[in-house]
Structures are given as structure tokens and as C-alpha cells.
A and B are shown apart, each in its own frame.
Chain A
């Protein structure tokens, strides 16, 4: 089955810096890669996703890149703000948008 690895497990940056979180997946048939943000006491919230026919997608300060050959994808957050502090999860699916397999999460801390 699919296996998703995520790095780093924790990431501390200064406000205004960029943050990059990386994930690798094992199943070359995976075709959908969402990213979720989880704040304390809440459920994960979808922030951006990418499909296997696209190499990069941007939404304001966040972007995701996908390298199908290397089987890895990354989340980029620019101009970080304290409210970006949360746990971020990557995920992958090889069955359309069903049955997501999640990475282990990255705790991002943005210091003012």
C-alpha cells in the first residue's frame, strides 16, 4: 500500500521567512496530493491540493510542487505569519480522491 513520509517533524521560522515542508510517497499510481493544516483542538483543514497532471499550484502565500519522477511533493509558505503556526499534514491517494494516506505531520512555529 501507499506510504507517505514527511519532513521535517518540526520547523521554527521567524515571521516573514519562508517555510518548506517535504513529502515523499511510494505508490507511483498516486494521483492526488492535498495538504492540511491542523490548529490546536480542531480537525485538519484542506489548504491546497495538487493533481498528478500538474507540476505546481499557487494560492496567495502558499504553493505546492509535485515531482512525479522522484515521487515527492512540497508545501511552500512565503512571508510567514504567526497565524501560520500549526501542524501541517501532507497526504496522497491512488484512488481518485478517496482513501487518503497521511504523512506524520510537521509542527510549524512562526515567531514574531
Chain B
């Protein structure tokens, strides 16, 4: 198994641009999570899906952030428009019903 696959690994963009982060969860895992990691705030849960349905998006910071999971093997996190304070490492994780998360390697986003 290739694990949770995230792309791109690094993204540098200018303020105001749209950014799309992608995630392929482990096959058979029915839950998918998007986390953001910063030095100041640690690991923050943004949103999670169960069986492709968004369950809790209370961690999404503002309307500029949106996430979709059109099928069991793909999810996106979009930021539009991006701002410098969005700079962070964004992690996707997936899990089956009865075990802990498996994290991807993350996308390091820098907004200049």
C-alpha cells in the first residue's frame, strides 16, 4: 500500500491566488481528515469526511476554505483567495472505522 498520497509536496503562491491541495486516501479507509500544522497553533482539524460525506467542518477558518470528497479515493482542499497567514503544512489523513489515522506526508504551502 502506498499510504495516503498528497500533492503537491510544496506550493508557493502569491496572495490572492487560488490554491488546491489534493489527497488520495488509503483504499478501504472510510474516513478522511484535513489538518493544518503551524508552530503557533499546532495540529488543527479543519474538516473530516465519513463515507465521502462532510461530517464536521467547524475547524475551517473562513469561507475562503472549502473541501470536497467527490469519491472514496480523492479529496481536495481549496483556498480562494489565499493569504500569507494561510502559510502552513496541510496534512491529509485517513482511517478505517476501528483504528487510528494514517497521515500523508503533507503539503507545505507558502503564500507570499
Give chain B's interface secondary structure class.
Answer: strand
Which residues on the B side are within 8 Å of A105 (C-beta)? 42-43
B55 nearest CB across to chain A (Å): 8
Which residues on the A side are within 8 Å of B55 (C-beta)? 98
Chain A: interface residue total (CB-CB under 8 A)? 21
Please tell me if A55 contacts chain B, counting CB pairs below 8 Å: no
- Contact at A97–B45, with CB atoms within 8 Å? no
Q: Looking at the complex, which one of B43, B97, B100, B104 makes contact with A34 (CB distance below 8 Å)?
A: B100
CA distance A34 to B103 in the complex (A): 13
CA distance A46 to B95 in the complex (A): 11
Chain B: interface residue total (CB-CB under 8 A)? 23
CA distance A99 to B50 in the complex (A): 11
- Contact at B102–A97, with CB atoms within 8 Å? no
CA distance A45 to B56 in the complex (A): 23
Please tell me if A112 contacts chain B, counting CB pairs below 8 Å: no
Q: Looking at the complex, which one of B31, B48, B50, B100 makes contact with A46 (CB distance below 8 Å)?
A: B100
CA distance A72 to B42 in the complex (A): 20
Binding site for A on B (CB under 8 A): 4, 31, 33, 42-43, 45, 48, 50, 55-56, 91, 93, 95, 97-106
> Can you list 20 contacts pairing A with B, beta carbon distance less than 8 Å?
A41-B105, A42-B105, A42-B106, A43-B91, A43-B104, A44-B91, A46-B100, A46-B101, A89-B43, A97-B95, A97-B98, A97-B100, A98-B31, A98-B55, A99-B56, A100-B45, A101-B45, A102-B43, A104-B42, A105-B42
